[in-house]
Structure formats: C-alpha cells, structure tokens
Chain A
Amino acid sequence: NAGVTQTPKFQVLKTGQSMTLQCAQDMNHEYMSWYRQDPGMGLRLIHYSVGAGITDQGEVPNGYNVSRSTTEDFPLRLLSAAPSQTSVYFCASSLTGGRDGYTFGSGTRLTVV
C-alpha cells in the first residue's frame, strides 16, 4: 500500500517557468489537499478537493491551479514560477475530511531562482 505519492522530490525552476507537482493516493480517499511549508510558519493550505470534479481555494491559492479528474490524482500546477513560491509542498489525503487526520506525502522541495 503506497499511501500518498508525490513526484518529484526536488525541483529547481527558473522564474517564469511552469510545472506540475504530481500527487496520487491509492486509499480511495475523497478528500485531498495541497499545503506549502515555509520556515517558522507551519503548513498553509493552498487548494483542496472533496471529490473528483470538485476543488476549492485554501489560505494561499494565488499562483497555483488544481484539478481533480479522478479520485486518485490531484496535481498542483504552478503557472509562472516566482521566487516567493520557493517552499516545500505537501499533498495530503483523508477519508473523513480530516477529522481523523490526514495522510501526507513525503513532500516536494521546490526552489525558484
């Protein structure tokens, strides 16, 4: 059972480039989320989804897009990378909407130069 799988683990982008962070889960969880982790600030919610075809914005959505075409996959797209998007990104999923906690992926460290 793989849990939540994120790829890539590390990425360096130039300012203005676009890319997609991949997230897949094999636990049939309806709820999936993307968080970013910055030093001293804990994790902040970027976007979330409560099921296939349904997404919504979190606390810090600007500069990011998401879609949810299947239950398993929830990719995060950076449209035009900026140095302020340098961070560690975590994908998480939950069966119960988070009341029992989320299962997190291992994270993607993104550097924008």
Chain B
Amino acid sequence: AQTVTQSQPEMSVQEAETVTLSCTYDTSESNYYLFWYKQPPSRQMILVIRQEAYKQQNATENRFSVNFQKAAKSFSLKISDSQLGDTAMYFCAFHNNAGNMLTFGGGTRLMVKP
C-alpha cells in the first residue's frame, strides 16, 4: 500500500514571497501520478497541479510549480508571489496507474500574511 507524508502541519508566508510545501511518498511502482489539491475555507477541493511519474520535466501552472524527485520519492510544491487567496489547506495525493483511488497526505495548512 502507498503512503503519503506531509511533514509540515502548518506554514506561513508573507504576501508576494515564495513558499515550498513538502511531500514524500512510498511506493514500489514505477508509473504513477501525483497531485496537489488546495482546500480553502469554503471546503471545496481544487486541483492545483499534476505530475506524471514517467515525465522527468517538473509540472508548472502559473505561480505553482513542483520539484519532483522520483528516486527520493519527493514531490514538493512551490508557490511563487504568494497571494492572500492562497491561504488554504494543501494536500499531496498519489494515484497508481492501475488503481482507482487517491491516497492523501495529512495536509499542510498555509497562511499567507499581508
């Protein structure tokens, strides 16, 4: 079974600065998918970014980028130019190629301060 670990329960960052959220996972598979989801106070789960394990290039979506280190089983999220609207819980999630479930980490609560 896969496990996903987010070692930072809470983080804070000043508006306009950069912050990196950490995620590590454990799997014996070689092909899989990794995700970061954002959950603002509204409770809605919003897909932020997606990475395919067989692609070496790190995914980027506007101010959000990842640092995917397959050998180290690490998948960190970098948020550049942080905005007040980035305040939320962030969840790292793993999906294997053949399965039908997402395995989530415990989440990191990010506070962006003005």
Contact = CB atoms under 8 A, between A and B. Distances in A.
Interface of A: 31, 33, 35, 40-45, 48, 50, 56, 58-59, 88, 90, 92, 97-102, 104, 106-107, 109
B88 interface: no
A98 B104 contact: no
Q: How large is the interface on B (under 10, 10 to 19, 20 to 34, 35 or more residues)?
A: 20 to 34
Interface string B67-108: 000000000000000000000000101010101111011110
Contacts of B107: 40, 42
B21 interface: no
16 contacts: A40-B106, A41-B106, A42-B4, A42-B91, A42-B104, A43-B102, A45-B101, A88-B43, A97-B99, A98-B101, A101-B47, A101-B50, A102-B47, A106-B43, A107-B43, A109-B43
A99 B105 CA distance: 17
Given A40-B9, A42-B91, 16 more contacts: A31-B100, A41-B106, A42-B93, A42-B106, A42-B107, A45-B101, A50-B100, A59-B101, A98-B95, A98-B101, A98-B102, A99-B95, A99-B97, A104-B44, A106-B43, A107-B43
Ordered nearest first, which 7 A-B pairs have the shortest CB separation? Answer: A42-B104, A104-B45, A101-B47, A45-B101, A43-B104, A98-B95, A107-B43
Contacts of B105: 42
A21 B81 CA distance: 39
Contact of A97 (B44, B47, B100): B100
B25 interface: no
Interface in B45-69: 45, 47, 50
A90 B107 CA distance: 16
